[in-house]
Amino acid sequence: NWTMENFIDTEIQRIRNLVGPTAEVIGAVSGGVDSTVASKLMTEAIGDRFHALLVDNGVLRLNEAAMVKETLGDGLGINLTVVDASEEFLSKLKGVADPEKKRKIIGNTFIHVFEREAAKIKPRDGKDIEFLLQGTLYPDVIESISFKGPSQTIKTHHNVGGLLEDMKLKLIEPLRELFKDEVRHLGELLGIPHDLVWRHPFPGPGIAIRVLGEVTPSQVQIARMADHIYIEEIKRAGLYHKIAQAFACLLPVKSVGVMGDQRTYEQVIALRAIETSDFMTADWFPFEHDFLKRVASRIVNEVDGVARVTYDITSKPPATVEWE
C-alpha cells in the first residue's frame, strides 16, 4: 500500500540505484518548500555527494541567505554552499524597468552564476558532477506540458534546459509525482521545520518584481523592510496559515505626508494578501481594520522612504497576484 513512509524508502532506494556508489549531484535551493524537501531527501540518500547551492541574487527576502544557511546547512545537515552574487544581479538590473526584462535578466544571470559556481565543486571521484536535482512537482509537470496562457513566461526561470545541455547533466526529480500538500507532508516526515514547510510561495525573480520600475539597492531595501514588518505582523496575529500568499510592493510614486511638524514627500507601499486554492484565481484577504492600521503605522514609522501605505483590494482576475 502507498504511504508517505513507504514513498521515502522507495525513493531513497531509487535515487541510490540511479546515482550509483560514486557519482555526485548538484541542485539549487531557494529557501522554499520544494527545493528544501528535494534536497533533504537527496541528502538522506547520498549524504555529502549531494551539493546544494543557494545563489543570493540580491532580491531575496530580509536575512534570507543567512536563514537558509542556518536551517538547511546547520539544521538539516545539507551540504550547502551559499554564493553571494547580489552585485552581479543588481548591476545587470540597473536601468531596467520592464517586468519581463527583469525576469529574463534574473533567469539568465542565474543560469550563468549557477554554471560558474557548479564548476568549482570537485567531486571526490575526480569526475564531473553527473546529475542535477530539481524540486519539480506534479502540477509543474502538467503545466509545462499543457499551459500555453499569456503568462507562459512565469516559468522562464524554471528552464533548466541550458544547465542540462551545457553541463551535460542528467535530471533527477524525486517530487514529480507529488502535489504540494503531499510535499508538505513529506517535509514534516523528513524533519523539516514547520515554518519552512508551510511557507508562502515566493517568486524566482523575488523582490525585483515587487519593486515596481527600476530596481536599485535602496529600493530593494525599502521593499524588503516593509515586507518583513508586514509578514511579522501577520504571523503575530495568527493569520499566516489562513493566507495563501502575502507581500509588500514598493510603488515608484511619491506622495506627500506629514511626520511630526515636517512635511514629507516619499514613496508608497502597497500590501497584498490573497486567499486561493490554485493561484489561478484569488481573492484579497479581509483583514480586520485594526490589523491594517497597525501595519501601516509600523511601516511608515520604521521604514525610511515610505510616506503612505495602501491595501490592494483587487481579486484575480482581473488583477494578477503580483503587481508586475
Binding site for ligand XMP (CB under 6 A): 103, 151, 154, 157, 201, 203-205, 245, 279, 316, 320-322
Annotated binding residue at 34? yes
The position carrying cell 523528513 is: 190
Annotated binding residue at 86? no
Closest approach, Cβ 215 to ligand XMP, in A, equals: 14
Annotated binding residue at 216? no
**Which CB atom, from 174 or from 204, has the smaller least distance to ligand XMP?**
204
The whole-angstrom separation of Cα 216 and Cα 207 is: 11
Closest approach, Cβ 61 to ligand XMP, in A, equals: 13
Annotated binding residue at 32? yes
Q: Give the residue ranges of DSSP H helices in the chain.
A: 4-19, 33-46, 64-68, 86-93, 99-118, 138-146, 161-166, 180-189, 194-197, 217-236, 289-302
Backbone angles phi, psi at 147, to 5 degrees: -80, 120
Residue 258 C-alpha cell reads as: 506629514
Annotated binding residue at 33? yes
Closest approach, Cβ 141 to ligand XMP, in A, equals: 16
CA 313 remoteness from chain centre: 24
**Which CB atom, from 275 or from 322, has the smaller least distance to ligand XMP?**
322
The whole-angstrom separation of Cα 32 and Cα 276 is: 18
Annotated binding residue at 153? no
**Which CB atom, from 172 or from 244, has the smaller least distance to ligand XMP?**
244
Residue 14 C-alpha cell reads as: 531509487
Task: Report the chain's C-alpha Rg in angstroms.
Answer: 21
Residue 304 C-alpha cell reads as: 525610511
**Which CB atom, from 50 or from 247, has the smaller least distance to ligand XMP?**
247
Closest approach, Cβ 274 to ligand XMP, in A, equals: 8
**Which CB atom, from 121 or from 321, has the smaller least distance to ligand XMP?**
321
Backbone angles phi, psi at 95, to 5 degrees: 80, 0
Closest approach, Cβ 312 to ligand XMP, in A, equals: 12
Please enumerate, by residue number, every residue annotated as part of a binding site. Answer: 30-36
Please enumerate, by residue number, every residue annotated as part of a binding site for ATP. Answer: 30-36
